[in-house]
Amino acid sequence: MTSEFAPQKFKPFTRQSIRQARQWQSLPPDLQEAVQVVSHVMPFRTNEYVMDQLIDWNNVPDDPIYRLVFPHRDMLPIDEYRTLRDLVMVKQDDAAIAAYVHQIRMRMNPHPAGQMTHNVPRVNDTPLRGLQHKYNETVLFFPSSGQTCHAYCTFCFRWPQFVGMDDMKFDAKETTELVSYLKNHKEVTDVLITGGDPMIMNTRSLAEFIEPLLGPELAHIQNIRIGTKSVAYWPQRFVTDRDADDLLRLFEKVVASGKNMAIMGHYNHAVELRQEIAQKAVKRIVGTGATLRMQGPLIRHINEDPHSWAELWRTGVRLGAIPYYMFVERDTGPREYFQLPLARAHEIFQQAYQMVSGLARTVRGPSMSAFPGKVAIDGVVTINGEKLFALQFLQARNPDWVRKPFFAKYDPEATWLDHLKPAFGKEKFFFEEGGTPDQVPHGAAVERKVIPIASRREACATHGNAA
């Protein structure tokens, strides 16, 4: 444990206990009411560090981290909010509240992208609870004791994990099934331990899930990834928690075994990495030989500012982290509140990308984790006078689709892949009909910027290596 930072006890707040937080009394009654009402639908949990260090209470409700963790009335359509408010605040009828909340949740597409139907592996036709296998090389593992988080994000696509929808939960109590599945699947190189947040577990419990993956029979597993938001919501996990040092030793053990320990750090806003302790956490993680990648979704009201993304990536790179993904907000939960048009998402990504050095341009996006795979919006182009989105699969159910460009009609309102229509008069995208990716029509005029030879020379000359 490092002595620069005093140990802090983790103190969570939920709907039941938020009134005890000192900031609660300063919230106007309408915001308090919204938390009490909407948190019946969306999970609500925050903690003292988030409240004290990450939220600027002079800027509430517009503060990005406030919007990230506190439910708002606009997350529900007005009629739903009114009905639920009446049930919660006036009638206080628990059975009626539960029935109405269930109805709202089911309309919210609780498991997008075929998670319950297409990604669950089976052995002898029995589904393996707590596992997902969508892409050939990566298996997702959901340990049961890691299915909560240090705070909950209001946009989270894993929200059914936290609200007691047991029939929609992924969780595994131990690794026996995982290990025997992996032994029979030599194509798998990566195991992603995810949640919730696996870092909610103490180090001893986490080791019980990780150490069985280090055995010689799983030599084909090269990368052990952990998906976590603790780097932002509770960086003390890596710095001052009682077993923080043991955690770092566990990372070192994985690295010493010859495998890559890859921490997939979830960040949403630059403020999350302005805190000294958050920066220290990054340093300590990468100091073990583990890698730390930065990823997160682009969300309206929270991080639609390219400057915030650029600052986040720049700071991360300085500390040794690797910018990885900017995702498009998924089609689940209160998506109407959080979603941005794909065209705007592309602009924000491009602007942020232009502000950072080549070292931060490892980042990819904006990327939709959709049913057929991860689809990135590469740009907006005009071909034969038709304005189009240029797209590609970064990951796909069918590996043959990866990194083959395809095109969709430009639609300024579209917010997800299924809103897009194929280009060039086609009825379906190639991945919907088992065909091949788009070919630009023969002889088509493609509008693109041409850099004159002279200015290219000038550009080179400024770096002292003119041809």
- Whole-number minimum distance, CB 128 to ligand SF4, in Å? 21
User: Residue 146 interacts with ligand SF4 (CB under 6 A)?
Assistant: no
Helices vs. strands in the chain: H and E counts, helices first: 16, 16
User: Residue 300 interacts with ligand SF4 (CB under 6 A)?
Assistant: no
- Tell me which residue of 6, 29, 90, 23 sits closest to 58, measured CA to CA: 23
From the list 193-201, 241-249, 404-412, 442-450, the region that binds ligand SF4 by CB under 6 A is: 193-201
- Tell me which residue of 338, 239, 254, 240 sits closest to 296, measured CA to CA: 338
Rounded to whole angstroms, the Cα distance separating 134 from 118 reads 8
**Identity of the residue numbered 48:** E
Binds ligand SF4 (CB under 6 A): choice among 229, 280, 284, 330 = 229
Taking the least distance from each CB to ligand SF4, the nearer of 47 and 308 is: 47
- Tell me which residue of 413, 420, 406, 409 sits closest to 386, measured CA to CA: 409
Beta strands 373-383 and 364-369 are: antiparallel
Q: What is the DSSP letter of 420?
A: -
Give the orientation angle of helix 342-354 with respect to helix 306-319, to 10 degrees. 50
Calculate the CA dihedral of residues 459, 460, 464, 465 and round it to 10 degrees. -170
From the list 76-84, 192-200, 242-250, 451-459, the region that binds ligand SF4 by CB under 6 A is: 192-200
Q: Please state whether 108 falls in left (phi above 0), alpha (psi between -120 and 50) or beta.
A: alpha
User: Residue 195 interacts with ligand SF4 (CB under 6 A)?
Assistant: yes
User: Residue 153 interacts with ligand SF4 (CB under 6 A)?
Assistant: yes
Angle at 454 between CA 448 and CA 457, to 5 degrees: 105
User: Residue 156 interacts with ligand SF4 (CB under 6 A)?
Assistant: yes
Taking the least distance from each CB to ligand SF4, the nearer of 177 and 197 is: 197
Taking the least distance from each CB to ligand SF4, the nearer of 158 and 314 is: 158
Alpha-carbon radius of gyration of the chain = 23
Taking the least distance from each CB to ligand SF4, the nearer of 139 and 149 is: 149
- Whole-number minimum distance, CB 369 to ligand SF4, in Å? 12
Beta strands 260-266 and 223-228 are: parallel
- H/E run at residue 238: helix 236-239
User: Residue 149 interacts with ligand SF4 (CB under 6 A)?
Assistant: yes
Rounded to whole angstroms, the Cα distance separating 252 from 214 reads 12
The tokens for 232 are: 């932002």
Name residues contacting ligand SF4, limited to 259-288 (CB under 6 A).
Answer: 266
Q: What is the DSSP letter of 161?
A: G
Taking the least distance from each CB to ligand SF4, the nearer of 156 and 348 is: 156
From the list 13-21, 87-95, 152-160, 416-424, the region that binds ligand SF4 by CB under 6 A is: 152-160
Q: Is 380 helix (H, G, I), strand (E, B) or coil?
A: strand
Binds ligand SF4 (CB under 6 A): choice among 72, 85, 134, 158 = 158
Taking the least distance from each CB to ligand SF4, the nearer of 229 and 346 is: 229
Taking the least distance from each CB to ligand SF4, the nearer of 296 and 422 is: 296
- Whole-number minimum distance, CB 325 to ligand SF4, in Å? 13
- Whole-number minimum distance, CB 69 to ligand SF4, in Å? 9
From the list 194-202, 283-291, 433-441, 452-460, the region that binds ligand SF4 by CB under 6 A is: 194-202
- Whole-number minimum distance, CB 328 to ligand SF4, in Å? 14
Q: Is 365 helix (H, G, I), strand (E, B) or coil?
A: strand
Taking the least distance from each CB to ligand SF4, the nearer of 148 and 205 is: 148
The tokens for 372 are: 């057929």
Binds ligand SF4 (CB under 6 A): choice among 152, 353, 407, 410 = 152
User: Residue 306 interacts with ligand SF4 (CB under 6 A)?
Assistant: no
Rounded to whole angstroms, the Cα distance separating 390 from 410 reads 9
What x/- string results for residues 196 through 225 when contact with ligand SF4 is judged by CB under 6 A? xx----------------------------
- Whole-number minimum distance, CB 332 to ligand SF4, in Å? 11
**Identity of the residue numbered 330:** R
Residues that bind ligand SF4 (CB under 6 A): 149, 152-153, 156, 158, 195-197, 229, 266
